[in-house]
Structure 1
Amino acid sequence: MSLTLQENEDEHGFPIDEYTYYHSDSGLKGWTIHTCYPPEPALKPLLGKRITNTKPPPSFYAKKRRSNQLDLNDNQFQSPAKKIRKSQVNAAIVVESSSQAQQQTPLFQEQQDDNQLQASPTPAFSTPQHIVASTQTDPPRMRRKLPPRGVPQPERRPTINYSFSQSSNSSSFQTNTPTTSSLSNPPRRIYPPSAPSLAFPRPVSKYDPELYKNLSDEQKNIHDQIVKHEKSVFFTGSAGTGKSVLLKTIINSLHYKLGADLVAVTASTGIAACNIGGVTLHSELGIGIGEKQAEDYIKIIQKKESLFKKINTIEVLIIDEISMIDGVLFDKIDTITQEIRRNKTKAFGGIKLVLCGDFYQLPPINKNVQDIRYAFQANCWRNAIDLNMELSIPFRQKDQHFANMLNELRLGKVSRTTERELKNLHRTITIGNDIEPTELYPLRKELEAANNGRLNSLNGELHIFRSIDEGNSYLYNKCIAPEVLTLKVGAQVMLVKNLTAKLVNGSRGVVSGFANTEGKLFPIVKFSDGTKQTITNFDFVFESQGKRQASRIQLPLILAWALSIHKSQGQTIEYLKINLKESFDYGQAYVALSRATCMENLQVLNFSSSIVKSHPKVTEFYRKMIIDK
């Protein structure tokens, strides 16, 4: 008599059956959990509970996995054969009798962070002693952790075959030879664990279902087209429509589904890359500033084994702020990836693309404005993108009238009503708590003079905070947090990272003092709502394929008397003062004004309808673009 397990899938496409155990202990995150029969009583609390970053992805199960066969007469369990990817970490729960588990000493122990050594989040369950985990990782850079002194070391074997045996009281594994006649197929092989590489620790992506639940319906639609239906998508929308929130959710879901090593998270600028936990596109592909010919970059990449392997491995390429990527560079990347991956029939060598941005905002940097070529003008654009999708609901601006005004400016249009209302915003705004509005400048030299001049005018002692930098200097020098931050009591500052539900990226404050914390001085900031908070260091991380490439440890603050319009793109600024006298670039006035949340907190100087302009190529692209629903 045999019994076929009927598998069901959860809401994310992962299979669940009545004999599958999903271990919730933090030390086993990211490992593939196998099935066993009969159900172990100690594991019953784990039934139906799924760990994060389970591999392989749902598509693998749907195509490859066969139903498990249980032969109740022979008391044998047959585990399905599975294809193991070299880059995956795989593990199995091995069930032994309690006496066997007490006698066995593990050869290797995985080094974990302190927060991973806590008890299982399931209160009613603690990991039983007869659960032993084994993993398989890439062979290089393995470190062996020896057993305690005085304990005889078991002989290490490269491969051990196990099969289940069933008794009246307990279930256990018994070792058999590979030629066991009672099994129609060889049992699953379980390999000895390898110590993780300390230089390149494999990350465990934590799936956060709340991110998806908080999306709007149109955001969920875009998310599903990318994550579930595996489409290459360009999604756009006016400022404040939730593009960044949606992109972070997509990244979280793709990391969970595919693994961080198969998803390249990039952006056109260092600030945008830091905001989404990625790296710049140039750094990810090793193309520097991108001025060489594609053939030259191909030769360089072929000589670099790690870079060559990376480009052949990634399945999804994410690019934020696509509006600032030049079309010529976009074509070069297409040629490079096709050649390296040896797949010239598909755009980007078969890599799926997720492009996010608004071409009405700042264009690619080019000394000759007439030579601007946007990414959508690239020869490969049409073949590379399956769907063009747009977000239309504003979240940053709660005032619908103000949002409508900004949509006019986005299209390069200014009605008489809009011009009149914006000119009326020249009045001074009062904030309170000694906080002044942040002033946006078109030119970098202007903002540096403004910040340094105002800081030097303050009385009191200077406090200098230097960053701790590691890794690729090109990346951490692009971080929004400065290498050297100089503060005084009375300095106007702005948060550049979310700290609490109320103290978020863009919150404005003033330094009210300095507190001694663990022998070091840190600034006390009084924010616009009256909250006082001691600000300590934050780790700004740039990652590629889930591996840290660079980091900067610094206070998540910047001087906020002045900020450049380029640096403000993607930011929400609580209180804003804008002088548009020297605004010169396409989309510059729109980007500056759309940083504000409402008209009450916005002061506008020297506004004129003549400075509002959108590039004709962008206008034509959006006019012809078919929006997919």
Structure 2
Amino acid sequence: MAEHYQNYTALFQTLQNAVRDSDATKDSPVLQGLIRDLGRENPVEERRPFIQRHDDFYQQIRHRQHSVLSQCSIPSADEVQAAAKAQDLLHLQMLNEIEGGVQGGTTSIGNTDIDDLLVRQCDADIPIPRQLVTSQATNPRMLVELGPVGGFTELGLRAASTYTLNGLQSMALQLVCRFLDKYIDHPDSAGQNLQYVGGPGGTGKSRIVDALRDVFAARGQPHHLQITGTSGSAAAQIGGTTLHSACGLDIHHSSDREPPIFPEAKKWRWKQKLVLVIDEVSMLGGATLFQANCRLQALRDCPDKPYGGIPVVLLMGDFYQFAPVLEKSLLVDRMIDPAYAASLGQAAIAHHRGHSLWLMFRTVILLEEQVRARDDPQLGALLDRVRAGTQAREDFDLLNTRLVDRSQITFKAGLRAITPLNRNRWALNMEALVDWARFHTKHISIFISTHTWRSRTLSQQEVAQTIEQGDSSNCKIPGIFFYAQGMPVVVNKNTYTGLRVVNGAEFTAVDFIPDPKFPGHYLADDVTIHFGPPLGILLESQETKDLTIPTLPAGTLLIRPITHVLDPANSYYKFLSGKCTRRGLPVVPAFVLTDYKAQGKTFVDVLLELRGNRVANGQPSRCDFTSLYVQLSRCKTLQGIRLLNLVRPQDFLGNKPDQGIVDAMRRLTDLAVETRRSFESQQCFT
């Protein structure tokens, strides 16, 4: 009971701090209302036990809210474990099919597959309910490669028409298709097409990938196309896998190690590839590109050609967006004088080699036409000036007209927000969840992650500070998880890449499976607290609608709690007196995102905080140029943009991209002119 008192007090203190101290939620009427409701019957002040919810409490809520679990029994702990193992198998199968390029991937698990998995996991005693399984899952499958139905160029023209690609998008696709026809006819003399497609955010780069996928599908050769992204989120958005997974890269191994010995089946698949796509190349460091090159040479048994001789390597992305977190952009070379190479570390040498590989990409298309903001020329022009670093005082004044009064901020109708400051994100997500849930009459469940301290005696302040500390790049688990059925959530960890459950992926939370060890307790009529995480949370999205996982409702998938050690050696947790183990869900509400996780997304209405990601002497640092550009370019219209606070002059005026990036982009602009001239001259002769 004492621990419950401590956790409840920590929750109450977190809410009060958000209302009193946070710039984002100061004097929030939504949070003030929640505090009042929780304070009406305060078990801690009255020193009485918490009132436990009765056994069928949540089932009544499920029926009232038409939950996916309202018509079936709640999975037991054993059934949750079995579902997780079946889901893991499905993830591996689908990952294998994504990397193999198979169309119509497996979306259900047969009983034989489950039994085989459980035997290998030494868990065959876990009961699995026998379900009706589709013939796709039970019958043997054979992949038959049909003869091509047309040349790449012809099919590329059809795909360009189907996707209504503009001139530059069509050119990018045709450059790939024409080369592939040339390669099919003369594989020994065609060489390689190393191509880069760039352009501002919202110019439709991903539609080129979609069209290219259709071309290979029309030829009955989807397995000849490998689509990857530099992050799990980027890969999921284009229906691929991560570059690290596809090439067998290990971020923990040094770049000078010999490539591993790959299975012959994996090597055979890679030798069939005609095109490798790498998306969000701005986040690809030179060292990683070099490592990928070495892996591809080993996978294709072709050590003397870049990327193992893959006919087409297509890099895509905008270098004005976020750069690699732990590496340097491959646009810029770190090595000034090769004479000093011997004194440099392996990482610097690997980056230099990766940069040299990057310089081989001389076929360049820079998309220009705004697709996202096509209906708002005013916003498009503003983004162009910000990108060029020529924004003026008039732009500054115009942007500040989008400031909204704090009392007008509401998340009831689907407003989303972006902030680079984690603490503001934590507070705003609490406000957004309560605001949204109460407007839609959804019950609110609050889960306090469990914390196990190594120290024996702890102050209430240390407990509260630990629980208040939310998720970040250092810890994927929030200290407090606010839940309401139907809310948007974002996953913080690459959990099931094959199922697109990756860091940054968004889903709808449709229900949770309570853990009997952490029953619900009354806080208010529409608020229940659990002093520990659930057994799992059920998520759905457009991509999960065809999934069938035993013991789970159709079209849903399961995320279970994970653990993480909070270490006082880390500056984020220096307030701790000793190490602490946190256990909870790697999932948070997605009403408010970081600028990193907003990259690649489009919003109709969005609340922006144009600030830096650090706070010194109570003031946020200057807004990073990349954050400024990424945030402003997420919305379709200027009218859809709202500001949480006034933009400061230092956040906007004179905020320019790094000069090294600007210089490197000049080279790409020149190459784009050459590419366009060459393509148009060839058009004249065809």
The TM tier, using the shorter chain, reads 0.5 to 0.7
> Structure 1 pair 265/453, CA: closer, same or farther in 2 (3 Å)?
same
> Structure 1 pair 467/320, CA: closer, same or farther in 2 (3 Å)?
closer
The answer on 1:363 being equivalent to 2:323 is: yes
Aligned to 1:238: 200
Instruction: Specify which of 199, 202, 227 is matched with residue 265 of structure 1.
Output: 227
Aligned to 2:161: 212
CA distance in 2, matches of 1:282, 1:270: 10
CA distance in 2, matches of 1:199, 1:482: 32
Instruction: Specify which of 294, 306, 315 is matched with residue 347 of structure 1.
Output: 306
CA distance in 1, matches of 2:277, 2:541: 28
Aligned to 2:290: 331
Deviation, structure 1 residue 471: 5.6
The answer on 1:228 being equivalent to 2:178 is: yes
Q: Deviations over 1:182-214 (max 9, x none)?
A: xxxxxxxxxxxxx99968874999999566331
TM-score if structure 1 supplies the norm length?
A: 0.53
Instruction: Specify which of 367, 383, 389 is matched with residue 391 of structure 1.
Output: 367
More helix by share: 2
> Structure 1 pair 112/622, CA: closer, same or farther in 2 (3 Å)?
closer
> Structure 1 pair 203/596, CA: closer, same or farther in 2 (3 Å)?
farther
Aligned to 1:461: 443
The answer on 1:304 being equivalent to 2:263 is: yes
Q: Deviations over 1:73-111 (max 9, x none)?
A: xxxxxxxxxxxxxx999xxxxxxxxxxxxxxxxxxxxx9
Instruction: Specify which of 552, 555, 562 is matched with residue 592 of structure 2.
Output: 562
Look up the SS of the partner of 1:425 in the other structure: coil
Deviation, structure 1 residue 613: 3.1
CA contact (8 A) 1:196 1:202 kept: no
Look up the SS of the partner of 1:577 in the other structure: strand
The answer on 1:441 being equivalent to 2:419 is: yes
Aligned to 1:25: none
TM-score if structure 2 supplies the norm length?
A: 0.48
Deviation, structure 1 residue 233: 1.4
CA contact (8 A) 1:438 1:577 kept: yes
Q: Deviations over 1:520-551 (max 9, x none)?
A: xx99xxxxxxxxxxx97533599xxxxxxxx9
Aligned ranges 1:372-391 → 2 under 5 Å: 378-383=355-360, 385-391=361-367
> Structure 1 pair 552/609, CA: closer, same or farther in 2 (3 Å)?
farther
Q: Which amino acid aligns with 1:446?
A: N
> Structure 1 pair 340/434, CA: closer, same or farther in 2 (3 Å)?
closer
> Structure 1 pair 601/303, CA: closer, same or farther in 2 (3 Å)?
closer
Deviation, structure 1 residue 467: 12
The answer on 1:623 being equivalent to 2:666 is: yes
The answer on 1:587 being equivalent to 2:626 is: yes
Instruction: Specify which of 372, 391, 403 is matched with residue 414 of structure 1.
Output: 391
CA distance in 2, matches of 1:564, 1:364: 16
CA distance in 2, matches of 1:428, 1:337: 54
> Structure 1 pair 399/285, CA: closer, same or farther in 2 (3 Å)?
same
Look up the SS of the partner of 1:566 in the other structure: helix
Look up the SS of the partner of 1:378 in the other structure: helix
Deviation, structure 1 residue 271: 1.5
CA contact (8 A) 2:625 2:656 kept: yes
Deviation, structure 1 residue 295: 3.4
Q: Which amino acid aligns with 2:627?
A: Q
CA contact (8 A) 2:285 2:329 kept: no
> Structure 1 pair 290/412, CA: closer, same or farther in 2 (3 Å)?
farther
The answer on 1:539 being equivalent to 2:543 is: yes
CA distance in 2, matches of 1:411, 1:552: 44
CA contact (8 A) 1:255 1:263 kept: no
* Structure 1: gaps of 5 or more residues: 1-86, 90-110, 115-140, 142-194, 488-521, 524-534, 543-550
> Structure 1 pair 258/416, CA: closer, same or farther in 2 (3 Å)?
farther
The answer on 1:481 being equivalent to 2:441 is: no
Q: Which amino acid aligns with 1:358?
A: D
> Structure 1 pair 602/225, CA: closer, same or farther in 2 (3 Å)?
same
Look up the SS of the partner of 1:600 in the other structure: coil
Q: Deviations over 1:339-396 (max 9, x none)?
A: 442334421111121111000111111289999879896111122x240111111121
CA contact (8 A) 2:604 2:635 kept: yes
Deviation, structure 1 residue 440: 0.4
CA distance in 2, matches of 1:113, 1:486: 21
Aligned to 2:24: none
Q: Which amino acid aligns with 1:614?
A: P
CA distance in 1, matches of 2:624, 2:412: 33
CA distance in 2, matches of 1:381, 1:564: 29
The answer on 1:450 being equivalent to 2:428 is: yes
Look up the SS of the partner of 1:295 in the other structure: coil
Q: Which amino acid aligns with 1:606?
A: L
CA distance in 2, matches of 1:595, 1:399: 13
> Structure 1 pair 367/467, CA: closer, same or farther in 2 (3 Å)?
closer
Pairwise CA RMSD: 4.7
CA distance in 2, matches of 1:618, 1:425: 30
The answer on 1:610 being equivalent to 2:645 is: no
CA distance in 2, matches of 1:270, 1:480: 8
Deviation, structure 1 residue 437: 2.7
Q: Which amino acid aligns with 2:278?
A: I
Aligned to 1:254: 216
**1 or 2 for the larger relative contact order (CA 8 Å, sep ≥6)?**
2
Larger-gyration structure (1/2): 1
Deviation, structure 1 residue 263: 1.2
Q: Which amino acid aligns with 1:330?
A: L
CA contact (8 A) 2:225 2:275 kept: yes
Deviation, structure 1 residue 264: 1.0
Deviation, structure 1 residue 304: 3.0
CA contact (8 A) 2:415 2:591 kept: yes
Look up the SS of the partner of 1:354 in the other structure: strand
> Structure 1 pair 479/211, CA: closer, same or farther in 2 (3 Å)?
farther
CA contact (8 A) 1:247 1:356 kept: no
Deviation, structure 1 residue 610: 3.2
Q: Which amino acid aligns with 1:480?
A: A
Aligned length: 386
More strand by share: 1
CA distance in 2, matches of 1:323, 1:387: 17
Look up the SS of the partner of 1:389 in the other structure: strand
CA distance in 2, matches of 1:539, 1:606: 38
Q: Which amino acid aligns with 2:661?
A: V
CA contact (8 A) 2:611 2:624 kept: no
